[in-house]
A = this chain, B = another copy of it.
Amino acid sequence: MKTIRILVTGGTFDKEYDELTGRLFFRDTHLPDMLARGRCRLAVAIETVMMVDSLELDDHGRGRIVERARGCEESAIVVTHGTDTMVQTGRVLAGAALEGKTIVLTGAMVPYAFGSSDGLFNLGSALSFVQVLPPGVYVAMNGQHFPWNAVRKNTATGFFESVDPI
């Protein structure tokens, strides 16, 4: 079985509730818990690149994600990412021309820790798409997959939708 690299970058996926301040914050990634709940038996290598809200991601941060995607030996890569700038990171990853690699970005609209999250569904979806899609950079959200350059997040609805390729 081919190992899948999971690059964790934070996003709503991994946010938690701080009961003392009433704010959302990051601690450790929930990916291992999520994979255990999903009874996942894939060979995965989880790597936390950063833990940030994707609105705070800048060129430097995206550079680090590209670097890790290029540096890892796996050709199947899932990137967990905040939804707000998932497409921007997709563009940067595509621009890096990582030959032979299938990269799927996914995230969540509701934190996994809150019980009612879409995260587990999206993770199951992203891990499945990454095994069967040809090399390229994709976004997997709402049960669908999109090429990075033919999708946008509709900020009014929170759903991802197809657009004409850039």
Contact = CB atoms under 8 A, between A and B. Distances in A.
A53 B118 CA distance: 27
A126 to B, nearest CB: 8
A38, A53, A159 interface centre (most CB from chain B within 10 Å): A38
Within the oligomer, what is the number of copies of this chain? 4
A115 B114 contact: yes
Interface of A: 1, 12, 15, 17, 19-20, 22, 24, 34-35, 37-42, 53, 109-111, 113-118, 120-129, 131-133, 140-145, 155-161
Nearest to A157: B20
A37 to B, nearest CB: 6
Contacts of A53: 22
A22 B52 CA distance: 13
A124 B114 CA distance: 19
A20 B155 contact: yes
A144 B41 contact: yes
A143 B145 CA distance: 17
Given A12-B22, A110-B19, A143-B127, A40 B121 contact: yes
Given A122-B124, A125-B125, A140-B128, A116 B20 contact: no
A118 B42 contact: no
Nearest to A19: B109
Contact of A42 (B15, B35, B127, B143): B143
A158 B118 contact: no
B39 A118 contact: yes
Contacts of A37: 116-118, 121
